[in-house]
Structure 1
């Protein structure tokens, strides 16, 4: 049996982890991205503007991380969205649709009791490395 390569990804275009985890891990041709929140790049401070602005910033960080991992937003197959308040669901979806415009990934969305730094939203993703061919069902 051949070995599967595991690569730890650390992106300078994303906030540094504040706990013992990797920003992303590539295993074979799959990228597993840790959850990202809408914080400033160089300081652990949430962007102002609530859930909408935090979602936009989190998706920007996610896009940068995927790029540095050799993938991209267009190759995401699954996301998990964690919300501090389900009342933000519609505004988060509006920002989400600006980034994921077609062939939407599978997605799960949960309301949680609390997120790091009091964030309104956290998003994690699983994506593919390499070229992807989409097929209609």
Structure 2
């Protein structure tokens, strides 16, 4: 059984020895996506709602490249720099997970580039 590396120009390029995502059998595992605009390379970090949208758009573009969607996400991990932002993150997150409510963990951490948020997912690829 072989794994497949998933890569798209519509999400930030990996900046280290890792892949944007790996598909193994019918599962997709994404690397954490911070809110970098892939077109400009700039960090979207002015407020948590905009940052959350950008991180989720990056995840969405990786899902599309792997021929899946948010409807097939089964687990997410959300890393936030300040738990005080939890309600705002939840509000934006709910816009992307309308029909599907995957299992989720959310923790407060120090993030690369002092990003406000990082999101990774596991999804089924049909």
TM-score range, shorter chain: over 0.9
Q: Is the Cα–Cα contact under 8 Å of residues 54 and 120 in structure 1 kept in the other structure?
A: yes
- In the alignment, the residues of structure 2 paired with residue 60 and residue 24 of structure 1 have an alpha-carbon distance, to the nearest angstrom, of 15
1:107 deviates by 0.1
Q: Is the Cα–Cα contact under 8 Å of residues 45 and 115 in structure 2 kept in the other structure?
A: no
Structure 2, unpaired ranges of 5+: none
Q: Does 1:86 align with 2:78?
A: no
Q: TM-score scaled to structure 1, two decimals? A: 0.88
Q: Does 1:9 align with 2:6?
A: yes
Q: Does 1:102 align with 2:62?
A: no
Structure 1, unpaired ranges of 5+: 131-137
Structure number with greater Rg is 1
- In the alignment, the residues of structure 2 paired with residue 72 and residue 90 of structure 1 have an alpha-carbon distance, to the nearest angstrom, of 24
Cα RMSD over matched residues? 1.1
Secondary structure of the structure 2 residue equivalent to 1:92: helix
- In the alignment, the residues of structure 2 paired with residue 61 and residue 38 of structure 1 have an alpha-carbon distance, to the nearest angstrom, of 8
- In the alignment, the residues of structure 2 paired with residue 121 and residue 93 of structure 1 have an alpha-carbon distance, to the nearest angstrom, of 12
* Equivalent residue pairs, number: 126
Q: Give the one of 103, 113, 117 matched to 2:113.
A: 117
User: Can you list the C-alpha shifts for 1:4-40, whole angstroms capped at 9, x where unaligned?
Assistant: 2310011111111111110000000000000001111
Q: TM-score scaled to structure 2, two decimals? A: 0.95
Q: Is the Cα–Cα contact under 8 Å of residues 70 and 100 in structure 2 kept in the other structure?
A: no
Secondary structure of the structure 2 residue equivalent to 1:37: coil
1:42 deviates by 3.4
Name which of structure 1's ranges 68-77 and 22-31 shifts more when overlaid on structure 2. Answer: 68-77
* Runs of 4+ that moved beyond 4 A: none
